């Protein structure tokens, strides 16, 4: 199963089908930058867009989707709720505001963005949203703090997450969390699949990856994203550069050999970009109020 650009579709535990590759919109400013980036992605064949309330660009993302002329049911649209929107009596109302900002009647996927605050109360309301058709899938983002935090949600809910979003790239492959998710039939989506701009392109300069890229006449970014695809991960690389956006989706005309996959797997050193201690996350993210 693929999209028109041959992007594989990953089947979630509830039967929903998500394109394996999408455009991430973190760091894309509200207005022209996010609007034009999403339009460029959709014109290049992307059918999966990932945003969040905390990114403050949902209105531009939604406008680009509408202006693209592509039927809404052909685009997988993801957003994320911030901790100040968590809790029974709050989350469904926050979701309605999110739908209004995006200008859509439903979302394909909604994440709880961070593992702080009343996430159990929020999850109960997301379960309701799933049942009433406001969302097609529900998931958790950045709950890879430790087993206790992860299990405090997945072991207590009626509907387990269909998808789990974490930082993941060749230098931080997160094998433990992939195994945890696999046991529960939860798919994993990777943010910063190319290492993120905060890493200053370190992974893109890796000699092993660049040697493989030269063999295939591809860029380092394309090799890394192809590695994600062959590992079975969902990935949402972000960019505002139309050339890079097009480059990132042109990865389905070649394959990495088993040896090349093993060489990239061997680069793992669990070197993450996001290293904020959980106690600091709880303090900062609960105080940070994302406004409408």
Distances (CA, A) of 147 to 155, 185, 278: 11, 17, 13
Cβ proximity of 114 and 141 under 8 Å: yes
Could you tell me the mean pLDDT of each successive run of 10 residues in the chain, 292 residues long?
Answer: 79 98 97 98 98 98 98 98 98 98 98 98 98 98 97 98 98 98 98 88 96 98 98 97 97 98 98 96 96 88
Cβ proximity of 53 and 81 under 8 Å: yes
pLDDT of residue 197: 79
pLDDT of residue 84: 97
> Do β-strands 163-167 and 138-141 pair in parallel, antiparallel, or remain unpaired?
parallel
Distances (CA, A) of 12 to 1, 9, 54, 161: 13, 9, 25, 10
pLDDT of residue 3: 61
Which residues participate in catalysis according to the annotation?
55
Cβ proximity of 49 and 65 under 8 Å: yes
The pTM (predicted TM-score) of the whole model is: 0.97
Domains of the chain (ranges; CATH) run 9-272 (3.20.20.100)
- CA separation for the pair 49, 7 (Å, rounded): 13
């Amino acid at each position: 199963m693929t999209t028109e650009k041959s992007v594989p579709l990953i089947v979630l535990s509830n039967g929903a089908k998500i394109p394996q590759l999408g455009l991430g919109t973190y760091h894309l400013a509200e207005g022209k930058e996010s609007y034009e980036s999403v339009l460029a992605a959709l014109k290049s064949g992307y059918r999966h867009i990932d945003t969040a309330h905390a990114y403050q660009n949902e209105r531009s993302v939604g406008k680009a989707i509408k202006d693209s002329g592509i039927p809404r049911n052909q685009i997988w649209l993801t957003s994320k709720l911030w901790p100040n929107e968590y809790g029974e009596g709050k989350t469904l109302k926050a979701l309605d505001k999110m739908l209004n900002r995006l200008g859509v009647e439903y979302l394909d996927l909604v994440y709880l963005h961070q593992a702080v605050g009343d996430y159990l109360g929020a999850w109960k309301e997301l379960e309701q949203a799933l049942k009433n058709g406001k969302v097609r899938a529900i998931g958790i983002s950045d709950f890879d703090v430790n087993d206790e935090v992860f299990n405090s949600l997945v072991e207590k809910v009626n509907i387990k997450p269909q998808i789990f979003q974490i930082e993941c790239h060749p230098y931080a492959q997160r094998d433990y969390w992939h195994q945890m998710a696999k046991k529960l039939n939860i798919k994993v989506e990777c943010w910063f699949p190319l290492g993120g701009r905060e890493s200053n392109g370190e992974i893109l300069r890796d000699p092993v990856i660049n040697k493989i890229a030269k063999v295939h006449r591809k860029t380092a970014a394309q090799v890394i994203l192809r590695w994600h695809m062959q590992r079975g991960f969902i990935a949402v690389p972000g960019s505002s550069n139309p050339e890079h956006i097009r480059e990132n989706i042109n990865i389905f005309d070649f394959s990495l050999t088993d040896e090349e996959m093993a060489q990239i797997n061997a680069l793992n050193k669990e070197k993450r970009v996001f290293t904020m201690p959980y106690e600091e996350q709880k303090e900062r993210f609960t105080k940070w109020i994302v406004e409408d």
